[in-house]
Chain A
């Protein structure tokens, strides 16, 4: 079956602009995660959705970052007033929930490379 997809694959924007990054999880996966990966680092957690609700947004760096998942499938990460420090790869992952620890492995999409000039 299809894996996690993310669009766009690359995004170049200017400082101060607004961007939206989209994630389409694996069909049937109710849990969705966003991570941010800076160059040479491991991914860092941003936000977790269970269904339509953001169950944990403790990783969002500030209020310029927001994410939604209105119908419990596709999610959009929104960044307002972008700054050069927002440049990174934004990764989305999805998993099953309630099936036991082993079955709840997260599967990642290819990421969106965001460059803020």
Chain B
């Protein structure tokens, strides 16, 4: 069965510094997608970044990058130059790639609370 593990319940980072949020996953499917979402206190899940299992390069989106280590089954999120507005809950999620029999539903980890200190 698919599983996502986020081992850091809470993290602190100083403003303007970089921070890494850990995510490991388990699946027997050779084709899958990995996602990171941000959930501020307002509650909305905001899509940040996507990594496909066959992508040769690590995904990057602005200040966000995904450190994808396929052999280790890890997909850590790196946030560079942290800002106060980055304080939120961050969720790692996995999806079996869409196909005729796959629904595309997401499996989420428990989340990591990030607090950025001024």
- Chain A residues with CB under 8 Å of chain B are 31, 33, 35, 40-45, 48, 55-56, 59, 89, 91, 93, 95, 97-98, 101-102, 104-111, 113
Contact = CB atoms under 8 A, between A and B. Distances in A.
Contacts, number: 70
Contacts of B103: 48, 55-56
A101 B97 contact: yes
Contacts of A111: 43-45
A22 to B, nearest CB: 16
Interface of B: 4, 31, 33, 35, 37, 42-47, 50, 52, 91, 93, 97-98, 103-111
B1 to A, nearest CB: 12
Nearest to B49: A105
B44 A45 contact: no
A42 B35 contact: no
A97 B99 CA distance: 10
Contacts of A109: 44
A95 B103 CA distance: 11
Contact of B43 (A95, A106, A110): A110
Nearest to A95: B104
A104 B98 contact: yes
Contact of B52 (A42, A101, A106, A113): A101
B54 to A, nearest CB: 9
A75 to B, nearest CB: 15
